[in-house]
Amino acid sequence: MINFNLSNRVAIVTGGAQGFGLSITERFIQSGAKVIIWDVDKEAAETALKKINSKNCIYQIVDVTNFEKIKKNLIDIESSHSKIDIFINNAGIAGMNTTVAEYPLEEWNKVIDLNLNAVFYCCKAVVPFMLKNNYGRIVNIASIAGKEGNPNASAYSSSKAGVVGLTKSLGKELALKNIAVNCVTPAAAKTRIFDQMTQEHIDYMLSKIPRNRFAKVNELASLVTWLASEENSFSTSAVFDLSGGRATY
């Protein structure tokens, strides 16, 4: 395993108590960072802290669809840690598997609010802190579904496509600063998000991956750790595929 240097870096990982987020958090801790997990599931966050077992990891219960709550917690973190270097937008939900014609409006808004609006809120709120220190690394976790569109997953696919567009816009806005903004578009991985999907949809996703397996959480964590490191000094406003060969562009 390559050791990327995140010593003395302060990182926030949304949805950091499980799945991709937990793996990213663990890799960051191993790389020397101080990590603040943002999650709404207190039990999962406490379990994650016990598993990580490091004085460099804490959690805050944060609803990332609440802009004022985001700002308050960022101020608290800067006050206690002096700075914010890295922000990982990972929190998200799959939403229902059904057709556009049958997709409930309430469910659509719920998925868009967490998967896209919350990413915008977090980016909008954290950028001023990074500008103040002339350093930052933002990594948004999108999905291959955002590039290709999965049938019966219109809200999820649309929200992740929006994350790609947001990443490209923000990266260009900050290109002359020492702040890199990138996103990763992974294929599906066997995390708790599968609990929200039908078996038919899971089978469909697997059938589209040439490597004939799902992504592993540590594979995503490895890529994200490099993107969050100082070694990533040039790539910004970019989309990094982790799709097992599925991506066609």
Q: How far, in Å, CA of 53 to CA of 105, rounded? A: 42
Taking alpha carbons only, the member of 189, 196, 184, 41 closest to residue 110 is 196
> For residues 145 and 157, is the Cβ–Cβ distance under 8 A?
yes
CB-CB contact of 14 with 122 (8 Å): yes
d(Cα 55, Cα 66) in Å, to the nearest integer?
28
Query: What distance in Å separates the CA atoms of residue 18 and residue 12, rounded to the nearest whole number?
Result: 14
The widest CA-to-CA distance across the chain, in whole angstroms, is 50
The answer to whether 249 is a known catalytic residue is: no
Q: Which of 59, 103, 121, 156 is catalytic?
A: 156
Q: Which residues are catalytic?
A: 156
